A = this chain, B = another copy of it.
Amino acid sequence: MTNSVSEVNVALLGLGVVGTGVAKVLIQDSNYLQSVYGKPFILKHILVNDLNKQRDSFIPQDIITNSLEDVLNDDNINTVIEVIGGTGTAYTAVKSALQNGTSVVTANKELIAKFGPELRTIAQSSGAQLLYEASTAAAIPVISSLRTQLSGNKIKSIRGIINGTSNYIVSQMASSNAKFQDALREAQDLGYAESDPANDIEGTDALYKICILATLAFGVDIKPEDVYKEGITQLEPQDFSMAAELGYAIKHLGICEVSDDQLMIRVHPSLIPTSEMLSKVDQVYNAIEIDGNLSGKIVLHGQGAGQDATTSAIIGDLLSIKANNESTASRSTNGPALKDIKSLITKYYIRISVTNEPGVLAKISTILGELNISIASVIQKDGTQSTEVAELIITTYRASEEDLQNALKQIKMLPVVRTINTILRIED
């Protein structure tokens, strides 16, 4: 469709920070974009909530509207860019556009994670394209690479630091021994975290993104609510110093990986060996490691959010829309079955506060041993004769999540155990 016309008429839905960035590039860089794409992009409509709000001077007033209906009824529109967010108006608008055969570029991770399967099916039957590079890690070309250059690979795993707010907080906790609440407040002061940070620090944002990547890589439809998820709120400063002592960094990861034709998806903080690239990704940066059977591990690193970086991804998608989507690489939907977190086999880091008395370790290690969990190392902290409470930091060899959770239940009931402070999975 796009190629049969001499120009591409674009409707922009939403004029927040990202929408303003997209409008600016479409208007101010129009000659440049035309030189790249071969035909001009014409911004025809901008959908807003409030018609009377003060706008930047480069926004033409005459294309501003608050009527979604008017936009969707304009048959001249070739492409809709959706940057409203959420699953209300955005869902209605994207679905209608695709049903009309109009291609959609969206930055909306929640929409794609929750309604991607339905929207893709509609797009396939109408011949429209649905592109969403901006939904995951902004300008980092992870979705386009999975779709095209890496599409001949059978993907073994994807591991991503895909929430900049969380990564800023864990970076600060690691480098300055900050408490979680203090690091969060600092992130809020710097504008890296919202006043209600729940989506970021509880892992929901990362969950949406890893579901999107898993769907692309493995051709399966995933319900975000079926995926195991932890945030970073339980982490304490001593976990970072202990991890460093053991040779690891703590990072909040979204992970999807296939073994024995079964797919495991999970979102939680992990210990990563300091020799690996992912352990070196600090501050608000994002990075995604894709392990393909041919490519080996590819790590893509950059800013995962922000006006310009998100605009880069949206404009990149716009320039990628082809005359037809027949040859757009898409994996078969006969993907692997989804595994429960209980069947995870990995190494663990456990930090426990115990009464400082003889025989404590024997009791804990007996429980672990009975559940086939072997101890790899034990470090005791703060444990002098004069203090009442000691901390045990135990790392294990590979064990099943189910066994580990059963062991923890028993350990928790030991009279000598005060609290189980932190459980982290070790990814190496």
Q: A308: which of B37, B138, B141, B294 is its contact (CB, 8 Å)?
A: B294
Complex CA gap A323/B327 in Å reads 8
Complex CA gap A144/B149 in Å reads 7
**A294 touching B25, Cβ below 8 Å:** yes
Q: Does A331 contact B (CB under 8 A)?
A: yes
Interface stretch, picked from A156-164, A191-199, A299-307, A362-370, is A299-307
Least Cβ–Cβ distance between A325 and chain B, in angstroms: 10
Chain A 287-324, CB within 8 Å of chain B: the 1/0 string? 00000111111111111001011011101111111111
Q: A150: which of B297, B312, B321 is its contact (CB, 8 Å)?
A: B312
Least Cβ–Cβ distance between A94 and chain B, in angstroms: 21
**B298 touching A140, Cβ below 8 Å:** yes
CB neighbours of A293 from chain B (8 A): 308
Q: A148: which of B294, B295, B303, B319 is its contact (CB, 8 Å)?
A: B319
Q: Does A100 contact B (CB under 8 A)?
A: no
By beta carbon, the residue of chain B nearest A331 is B36
CB neighbours of A319 from chain B (8 A): 148, 151-152, 329
Q: Does A330 contact B (CB under 8 A)?
A: yes
Least Cβ–Cβ distance between A2 and chain B, in angstroms: 7
**A318 touching B140, Cβ below 8 Å:** no
By beta carbon, the residue of chain B nearest A327 is B322
Q: Does A346 contact B (CB under 8 A)?
A: no
Q: Does A133 contact B (CB under 8 A)?
A: yes
**B148 touching A148, Cβ below 8 Å:** yes
User: Do A327 and B38 contact each other (CB < 8 Å), given the known contacts A148-B316, A313-B149, A316-B151?
Assistant: yes
Q: Does A412 contact B (CB under 8 A)?
A: no
CB neighbours of A63 from chain B (8 A): none
CB neighbours of A329 from chain B (8 A): 36-37, 319-320
User: Do A152 and B302 contact each other (CB < 8 Å), given the known contacts A280-B280, A330-B36, A331-B36?
Assistant: no
By beta carbon, the residue of chain B nearest A145 is B141
Q: Does A405 contact B (CB under 8 A)?
A: no
CB neighbours of A332 from chain B (8 A): 35-36
Q: Does A326 contact B (CB under 8 A)?
A: yes
**A326 touching B36, Cβ below 8 Å:** no
By beta carbon, the residue of chain B nearest A317 is B149
Q: Does A33 contact B (CB under 8 A)?
A: yes
**B277 touching A295, Cβ below 8 Å:** no
Within 8 A of B (CB), among A108-164: 133, 138-141, 144-145, 148-154
Least Cβ–Cβ distance between A7 and chain B, in angstroms: 13
**B141 touching A298, Cβ below 8 Å:** yes
**A148 touching B152, Cβ below 8 Å:** no
Within 8 A of B (CB), among A32-54: 32-33, 35-38
**B294 touching A277, Cβ below 8 Å:** no
Q: Does A406 contact B (CB under 8 A)?
A: no
**B294 touching A311, Cβ below 8 Å:** yes
Binding site for B on A (CB under 8 A): 2-3, 25, 29, 32-33, 35-38, 133, 138-141, 144-145, 148-154, 277, 280, 292-303, 306, 308-309, 311-313, 315-324, 326-327, 329-332
Can you give 9 contacting A-B residue pairs, CB < 8 Å? A32-B152, A33-B152, A35-B331, A37-B327, A144-B145, A144-B148, A153-B312, A295-B302, A295-B309
Q: Which 10 A-B pairs have the closest CB atoms?
A: A152-B315, A139-B295, A294-B312, A149-B316, A141-B149, A298-B302, A295-B312, A299-B301, A35-B332, A141-B145
Apart from A145-B145, A294-B309: 9 A-B pairs, beta carbons within 8 A: A2-B327, A139-B149, A141-B144, A149-B316, A151-B319, A152-B318, A153-B315, A299-B299, A300-B301
